[in-house]
Amino acid sequence: MSERCLPGIMAEEDSPVVHFLPGRGYDSNIMVLDGERPVVVDTGTGTVFEHYCERIEKILEGRSVDRIVLTHRHFDHSGGAAAMARRLDAPVYVHEWAVDILRKGEGEMTGAWLFGATQEPVDAEPLEEGDEIDVGPVRYQVLSTPGHAPDSIALWHEPSRTLIPGDTVYAEGGIGRWDLKGGDYDQLVASRERLADLDADIRYPGHGPAVEGGAADHIRMGLKMVRMYGGG
Ligand SMILES: [Zn+2]
Alpha-carbon torsion 119, 171, 15, 51, what sign? positive
Q: How far is the CA of 8 from the centre of ligand 1 (A)?
A: 32
Q: How far is the CA of 5 from the centre of ligand 1 (A)?
A: 26
Q: How far is the CA of 76 from the centre of ligand 1 (A)?
A: 7
Q: How far is the CA of 59 from the centre of ligand 1 (A)?
A: 26
pLDDT of 60 higher than 80: yes
Q: For 103-107, 129-133, 199-203, which range has the lowest pLDDT when averaged over its residues?
A: 199-203
Phi, psi of 122 (to 5 degrees): -120, 130
Q: How far is the CA of 176 from the centre of ligand 1 (A)?
A: 7
Q: How far is the CA of 74 from the centre of ligand 1 (A)?
A: 5
pLDDT of 189 higher than 80: yes
Chain centroid offset of residue 205 CA: 7
Q: How far is the CA of 16 from the centre of ligand 1 (A)?
A: 25
Q: What is the pLDDT of residue 224?
A: 80
By C-alpha distance, which of 92, 70, 84 is closest to 149? 70
Q: How far is the CA of 153 from the centre of ligand 1 (A)?
A: 11
pLDDT of 3 higher than 70: no
Instruction: Report the chain's C-alpha Rg in angstroms.
Output: 16
The CATH class of the 17-229 domain is alpha beta
- Percentage above 70 pLDDT, the chain: 92
Q: How far is the CA of 67 from the centre of ligand 1 (A)?
A: 20
Q: How far is the CA of 159 from the centre of ligand 1 (A)?
A: 27
- The strands making up 17-21's β-sheet, listed across from edge to edge, are 17-21, 30-34, 39-41, 67-69, 92-95, 124-127
How is the chain split into domains, by residue range? 17-229
Q: How far is the CA of 71 from the centre of ligand 1 (A)?
A: 8
Mean pLDDT of all residues in 119-139? 97
Contacts of 18 (CB under 8 A, 6+ apart): 31, 32, 33, 34, 162, 164, 202, 204
Q: What is the pLDDT of residue 2?
A: 42
Q: Is the peptide bond before 91 cis (omega within 30 degrees of 0)?
A: no
Angstrom distance (rounded) from CA 170 to CA 168: 7
CB under 5 Å of ion ligand 1: residues: 74, 167
Q: How far is the CA of 136 from the centre of ligand 1 (A)?
A: 28
Beta strands 211-212 and 132-134: pairing type? unpaired
Write the DSSP assignment of 137-166 as a string of letters: S-EEEEEE--SS-TT-EEEEETTTTEEEEE
